[in-house]
Amino acid sequence: MISDRRSFLGALVAFGASATPGSIWSGAAMAGSSVATKSATESLVEPAVLRSENGVLRAAITAAPGKVRLGEFVLPGLLYNGSYIPPLLRCRLGDTLRIAFKNDLPDQASNLHFHGMSVSPNGKSDNVFIHVHPGEHFEYEVHVPANGRQGPGFFWYHPHAHGLVDKQIRGGMSGALVVDGFEQLFPILRDLQERFLLIKDAELGDEAHLLSINGQIEPVLAMRPGEAQYWRIGNISAESFIKFGLDGVRLYVIATDGHPLSRPSPVRELFLGPGQRTDLLALAPGPGAYEMRTIAFENEAWRKPEPTRKLATILCTGPTENVGSEGAILAQRVQSPRWIDEVRASPIARRRTLVYSRTPDRRLFMINGKVMEEDRIDESVRLGDTEEWTIVNTDQQFHNFHIHQTAFLVTEVDGTRPDEDSLHDTFSVPRATADRPGMLKVVIPFTDPVIAGRFVYHCHAADHEDKGMMGVIEVGL
């Protein structure tokens, strides 16, 4: 739309982009304002990695304003260590994360949250009630239990200072966190190339936005014909619900939000709300170029779906590989006990209902009619209990449900019972229709002693969370 293009040019001038207007778009800035850019031919770049050594992951992470270059655009960002894709943190069960966090943002508090981790919410650990003010340091010390519910998997880190989260994640403050060892569950992974696809969404003004993978616009992923690769895809954007699929390449899910399936499960398309991750085996077809594209869907009843757009190109060239035949993939079975089996076998100690709503002017988003207050405890839960929570969405747009320190089992979505083979820590709550609210039912284990304490649950569309759609839970004896 023309108005978008004009304001866009204004933004580009303001932030010093060097592109000339004629070269900025190969496609139009579409209705709904997703922006198509010139096709790139850049190979996908893996994020930089920081690994634990001798049981300790030492990292210094500084939040500060900085410029972000995304394809042809230069934008003002809020960055960790000056990078739109900050270091991927890799540790193992039993390790301690010692992270020196410095807030060099000039005007706003921040902190760190370790999304999806079953670790302590107290003290210097994964404590979202810590506020690190501008100019201040905080030394995080997060112990990853060797023998708790926490297993190997793909998680992420981002700020959680209430009211400021959306702006900071959208500016670039989010990165990947991995607990290594997943290959012990799926031995085939030992032979495969591992790739991270970290999806972010940058704001370009006037609702125009720019989806990227590893900070790249429409990157190229090289595969050999017939090759299997290990893909770890994370939606680490602030608030985007993204449905997408691939031509040609066959996909088999092996984990959701870091939690293993019992066996690889073929999938044709993926729907990842903000905060969700999935681990997949990707099996390349014959030689050729294939596209990863978004799939249009109606996120908000009052807005037309955004048009489909390209996310990446999969380029299959070179000699044929034999490593990843479909038979070898489908023969994989997780032999060790899984947390999901414990959750399924646990009696429901209590049922609760959370009703999501908002004010018509969109200034307040609520759970059970209340906006978040850090000093109020909304739900008190007994350690050791497993509960069933029903999230009722009265709003005609998607929200999602995320709870800190524990995963959950999805048992019902809008009246249908999905055949779930893995746990989640974040899951989309369908929007209301004109006739009835959207509904998600989950079973949540509060069984790991390490999670005792005070933490939060919320919609992970960070704008909604900032505007109140969050509650405080206390798990105790």
Output 29 or 470, the one with its CB closest to Cu ion: 470
What does residue 404 show for φ and ψ, rounded to 5 degrees? -80, 160
Binding of residue 431 to Cu ion (CB under 5 A): no
461 binds Cu ion, rule: CB under 5 A:
yes
- 459 binding Cu ion? (CB under 5 A): yes
Q: Are 263 and 298 in contact (CB under 8 A)?
A: no
Which of 85/461 has CB closer to Cu ion?
Answer: 461
Q: To the nearest whole angstrom, how small is the minimum distance from the Cβ of residue 408 to Cu ion?
A: 17
Selection from 148, 162, 91 nearest residue 119 by Cα: 148
Radius of gyration of the chain (CA): 21
Q: Residue 459 CB, nearest distance to Cu ion (Å)?
A: 3
Residue span binding Cu ion (CB under 5 A) among the ranges 70-78, 137-145, 265-273, 394-402: 394-402
Q: How far apart are CA 462 and CA 237, in angstroms?
A: 9
Q: Who contacts 337 (Cβ-Cβ below 8 Å, separation ≥6)?
A: none
> C-beta of 461: minimal distance to Cu ion in Å?
4
Is 14 or 301 the residue whose CB approaches Cu ion more closely?
A: 301
Distance from C-alpha of 189 to C-alpha of 191, rounded to nearest angstrom: 5
472 is a contact residue toward Cu ion (CB under 5 A): no
Pairing type for strands 386-393 and 438-445 reads: antiparallel
Q: For Cu ion, give the closer residue by CB, 195 or 460.
A: 460
Candidates 4-12, 158-166, 399-407, 433-441: pick the segment binding Cu ion (CB under 5 A). Answer: 399-407
Interface stretch with Cu ion, choices 12-20, 147-155, 189-197, 397-405 (CB under 5 A): 397-405
Virtual CA dihedral for 454, 458, 460, 462, nearest 10 degrees?
-90
Residue carrying structure tokens 């899951």: 427
Q: Which of 197, 156, 172 is nearest to 312 (CA)?
A: 197
CB of 462 to Cu ion, least distance (A): 9
Apex 285 CA angle, 283 and 290, nearest 5? 100
Spatial distance between the Cα atoms of 139 and 102, rounded to a whole number of angstroms: 9
- Nearest approach in angstroms of CB 395 to Cu ion is 8
User: What's the CA angle centered on 231, arms 85 and 416, to 5 degrees?
Assistant: 105
Comparison of 329 and 459: residue with beta carbon closer to Cu ion:
459
Pick the closer one to Cu ion by CB: 319 or 360.
Answer: 360
Judged by CB under 5 A, does residue 238 bind Cu ion? no
402 touching Cu ion, by CB under 5 A:
no
Nearest to 113, CA basis, from 458, 358, 385 = 458
- Say if CB 300 and CB 396 are below 8 A apart: yes
Query: Given the complex with Cu ion, which of 73 and 365 has the nearer CB atom?
Result: 365
Minimum CB distance to Cu ion, residue 397 (Å):
7
Q: Does 458 bind Cu ion (CB under 5 A)?
A: no
Give the span between the Cα atoms of 445 and 411, in whole angstroms: 13
Binding status of residue 399 toward Cu ion by CB under 5 A: yes
Contact region for Cu ion (CB under 5 A) — 2-10, 197-205, 373-381, 456-464?
456-464
Amino acid residing at 426: T
Binding residues for Cu ion, rule CB under 5 A, total 4
Phi, psi of 323 (to 5 degrees): -55, -45
- Distance of closest approach, residue 160 Cβ to Cu ion, in angstroms: 16
Binding of Cu ion by 261 (CB under 5 A): no
Give the nearer residue to Cu ion in terms of CB position, either 312 or 459.
459
**Which range, of 132-140, 149-157, 256-264, 459-467, touches Cu ion by CB under 5 A?**
459-467
The footprint of Cu ion (CB under 5 A) covers 399, 459, 461, 464
